[in-house]
Amino acid sequence: MLTVKRRDFLKAMIISTSLLVLGRPLVYEYQHSQSALTPFGSWYVVQIAGTPEVLVNNYILTVDGEVKNPMTFTYEDLINLPSVEVKDTIQCVSDPFFLKANVVWTGIPLKEIIDMVKPSPDVIKVVGFGAEGYTADIPIYKAMEPDVIIAYMADGRPLPQVHGYPARLAVPGWWGYTYVKWLVRLYFTSKNVLGYWESEGYPDVAKK
């Protein structure tokens, strides 16, 4: 269950590699996040390859597949779209008690991007691609939920490099393997495409 509070609109702009926050976004408080925030240094790290160095000045998010309006977004494009905050607990399915972190994400609802690109009515999944080659799939119905976001900040600061800078998915209520880091592509498909861990037998509906 979500509780929603209306706040001022968040605007951000790049100053070197940092963000200047000019207002406050809409806030979604997710029921699993009632504890204190987890310091970045205590977050767990699980990834399939090394940490890629993705630079803001040449970052591109490609949104394509079975859509009417394929689009690309720069980092500046993303941070200038209407944003929300989501209070969340990200957890690893392999050890959800120890491998977890309480965080406040800031980013763009994925639904906003979906509305812009206009997927085919036959689309059943969105596949996220990370810069290091990782993939995860999300059913379109989940992707449309208002607290599923493309996050570019955590706890009021730009994402740490190892945790997906400059942008990643946040999928509250689902296991951490759906939170694609270093997000560079969103692919819409009517086929039952499986992501990296889903193809290894992890639940395709990754609800905790």
Average pLDDT over residues 64-80: 98
The rounded percent of the chain whose pLDDT value lies above 70 is 83
Query: For 155-203, how does the pLDDT look when each residue is reduced to its tens digit (9 = 90+)?
Result: 999 999 999 999 999 999 999 999 999 999 999 999 999 999 999 999 9
The rounded percent of the chain whose pLDDT value lies above 90 is 82
Query: For 108-119, how does the pLDDT look when each residue is reduced to its tens digit (9 = 90+)?
Result: 999 999 999 999
- Confidence tier at 92 by pLDDT (50, 70, 90): very high
Q: Please check the confidence at residue 130 and state whether its pLDDT lies above 90.
A: yes
> Residues in the chain, how many?
208
Residue boundaries of the structural domains of the chain: 2-200
- The per-type count for the chain, helices as H runs and strands as E runs, is 3, 14
DSSP 8-class letter at 207: B
User: How high is the pLDDT of residue 35?
Assistant: 65
> What is the chain's mean pLDDT, rounded?
86
Query: For 7-46, how does the pLDDT look when each residue is reduced to its tens digit (9 = 90+)?
Result: 332 233 232 233 333 334 454 444 444 469 999 999 999 9
Residue 199: count of CB within 10 angstroms of its CB:
12
Please classify residue 155 by burial: count the beta carbons closer than 10 Å to its beta carbon, then call 0-12 exposed, 13-18 middle and 19+ buried: middle
User: How high is the pLDDT of residue 66?
Assistant: 98
Better pLDDT: 165 or 5? 165
In this structure, CATH architecture of domain 2-200 = Alpha-Beta Complex (3.90)
Query: For 142-153, how does the pLDDT look when each residue is reduced to its tens digit (9 = 90+)?
Result: 999 999 999 999
- Confidence tier at 77 by pLDDT (50, 70, 90): very high
- Is the separation of the CB atoms in 167 and 183 below 8 Å? yes
User: How high is the pLDDT of residue 31?
Assistant: 42
User: How high is the pLDDT of residue 171?
Assistant: 98
DSSP 8-class letter at 36: P
